[in-house]
Amino acid sequence: MRITSLFLSLLFVSPLLAATEPTPTTPVERGRYLIAISGCNDCHTAGYIARSGKVPESEWLIGDTMSWSGPWGTTYAANLRLRLAEMDLATWKTFARNAVLRPPMPYWALNHMTDDDLEAIWAFTRSLGKAGVPAPAALPPGVDPPLPAFSLHLPPAPASAGK
């Protein structure tokens, strides 16, 4: 009996859930979708995790002053709206394909993106316009980061990371 009513409620609810996210069509829409699902905002948008993702788009991707420290020193999630405004599409694709960055940036996700995905992220981020200030500069190993800071106990970053 219970199982039948669970099944019936799933039958009712699933089409409603599926209908909430329209398939993106333009590069800008696809970029918005990729940024929303691939976790970029978690680090590159200040307060995104603390506010459970309920942050207006006008505040997306402006970087964060919260630092990440470990054997690589201290890093900050960059202001992508300013960074991508400086790059034309070809420069961005070359950068993203070859990027080796310091933790906790999952640069391998950028390395693996298709041309269309990179173009979509570039188009969407630039459509937001320039805003905010550059994130603080990274600090070398052994320098205490200002607070708040995440401290991570990981192996060293690849030698070429962040160069």
Residues that bind ligand HEC (CB under 6 A): 38-40, 42-44, 68, 75-78, 80, 83, 101-102, 104-106, 109-110, 121, 138, 162
Angle subtended by helix axes 115-127 and 89-98, to nearest 10: 120
Give 60 or 76: the residue with its C-beta nearer to ligand HEC.
76
Long-range contacts of 86-92 (CB under 8 A, 24+ apart): 87/122, 89/119, 89/122, 92/118, 92/122
Q: How far is the CB of 131 from ligand HEC (least distance, A)?
A: 15
The total number of residues written for the chain in this structure? 163
Q: How far is the CB of 23 from ligand HEC (least distance, A)?
A: 20
**Residue with smaller CB distance to ligand HEC, 30 or 75:** 75
Smallest gap from residue 18 Cβ to ligand HEC (A): 24
